[in-house]
Structure 1
Amino acid sequence: MIGAIYNEILYRPLANILVFFYAAIPYHDLGLSIILLTIVIRLLLYPFIAKQMKAQKQLSAIQPALKKIQDQYKDNKEEQAKKVMELYKSKGVNPASGCLPLLIQLPLLIALYQVFRQVSDPAYFQTFLGQLYSFVPHPTSINPTAFGFINLAHTSIVLGILAAATQFFQGYVMTPSSGIITGEKKVGTPSAGDSFQKALQMQTLYMLPIIIFIFSIKFAAALPLYWVTLNVFGIIQQVVTKIDTPYI
């Protein structure tokens, strides 16, 4: 039951959009088709990503008030937690909203991996064709070569490096201490809570690109191409938009 829902909601739509782009693009370039599919995905995810960016700006804006509560109730953790929740509620802050884009992207990533594997591997191609809608062109074959020189059915260290590098830069842009999204850099001596949060951010900033690089060189190059496009488009959105809505 769950598998059927997953197939109809995620796998089939992604597969059909990819083939639609492949059939519509002159010279039928799979790499360009993946880039267009990734942009569509990023645009669909943007409302959730915008909420994440908004939450980061809100959290940054209430840091002085949050630190005041932590100092005032440092010996009464229960009252401290109560006051923090009251502050969040009064300012309309939802700290958990930053996790939503990640939760949405995980099943998307799994579905995309399956789509990329089946579309570029002759052993799975007939099964893949069976997932196409009747109004979508049914190609007799799909050329896995992107831009005339990258075989997306094989691994690519270059794309793996680009995926890791763009992920690192996007993580840096999203880090509140960079000041790029929040509009200001933190100064002064950080509290214990700030230090823990910063340490966690730094671990994510450096570890996630490493993880992405490892996955990128283990799987077909179609996957890191998706990551590179997703990251580059995300960086552009984050830097240009910045969401200038007043939150406080």
Structure 2
Amino acid sequence: MNIFFTVLYQPIYNLLVLFYDILPFNDIGLAIILLTLIIKGILFPFTFKTLKSQRDMQAIQPKIAQIREEYKNDKEKMATELMSVYKNNNVNPLASCLPLLIQLPIFIALFRVLRDGLGTVNADILYSFIPNPEIMNTMFLRLIDLTVVSIPLAILAAIAQFYQAKQTMARKPAKEVAGKLGTQDEMMADNMSKMMLYFIPVMTLGIGVTSLPGGVMLYWLVTTLLTVVLYSIFLPKQKDEKKD
């Protein structure tokens, strides 16, 4: 057995089986929701660092926009001024990347457990203290089979992704500041953001109704909703943002 399996996949699988066994009605969907909450809680310190980095970047966006406008014809001077702003405000533009990279293997392991581990319990990888139900009932709320494609869960996950994308865009610099930016880079970035607003939900819906089982989509839905809540708490909308 490799390290990934022993350190990540097997513990997550055992937690899922344990939650399935102890929760009322032996509902695998409730077990997945609880497992998602537990893992998100364990990873919260890393998530918090990412959110703090994004919040710090959000706070200096007006100054960054001003520098990019002022030195749009002098890339070298622009880079120098931007580095000065980052240093003076103790901000690292790449600070949010490391916590995300640390979390990635855990999410991959969770994805594989939910994709391949539902149904018949693999007793060979159960810890000795974990009860073995032998066969797990794969119905969520007695309505949705989480081992096959679930259109309702795919639709809900896509809607949640769209809301999260809208939420992220709402936390950009105020329009009156961004409107001063006329460089091609800024225009391309703005167009890319608008495209991703629709692309990610459509992609979520597409793979949700064609290939991913309902268990994965339930996890996707829950983790997206948790992200929305965390963004609302730690990255509130800028107060100076004006409505059209």
- TM-score (norm: length of structure 1): 0.83
| DSSP-derived class of the 2:137 partner | coil
Contact 1:18 1:37 in 2 (8 A): yes
Deviations 1:87-121 (A, max 9, x none): 11221222223344553454334322321233324
Structure 1 counterpart of 2:203: 211
CA root-mean-square deviation: 2.4
Report the AA paired with residue 171 of structure 1: A
Aligned residue among 208, 215, 228 for 1:235: 228
Aligned residues: 233
Report the alpha carbon displacement of residue 34 of structure 1 after superposing the two structures with TM: 0.2
Contact 1:31 1:147 in 2 (8 A): yes
Report percent identity of matched pairs: 35
Aligned residue among 163, 172, 185 for 1:169: 163
Aligned residue among 57, 60, 72 for 2:58: 60
Report the AA paired with residue 21 of structure 1: F
Note if 1:151 corresponds to 2:140: no
Contact 1:119 1:142 in 2 (8 A): no
Report the AA paired with residue 201 of structure 2: P
Deviations 1:170-193 (A, max 9, x none): 122222xx14xx7x7432514134
Moved more, 150-159 or 91-100: 91-100
Structure 1 gaps of 5+ residues are none
Structure 1 counterpart of 2:45: 47
| DSSP-derived class of the 2:125 partner | coil
Give the Cα separation in 2 of the matches to 1:212 and 1:103: 21
Structure 2 gaps of 5+ residues are 238-244
- TM-score (norm: length of structure 2): 0.84
Note if 1:187 corresponds to 2:187: no
Report the AA paired with residue 198 of structure 2: Y
Report the AA paired with residue 5 of structure 2: N
Structure 2 counterpart of 1:225: 218
Give the Cα separation in 1 of the matches to 2:236 and 2:3: 34
| DSSP-derived class of the 2:39 partner | helix
Show structure 1 runs of 4+ deviating over 4 A. none
Report the alpha carbon displacement of residue 232 of structure 1 after superposing the two structures with TM: 1.5
Give the Cα separation in 2 of the matches to 1:101 and 1:224: 23
Note if 1:74 corresponds to 2:63: no
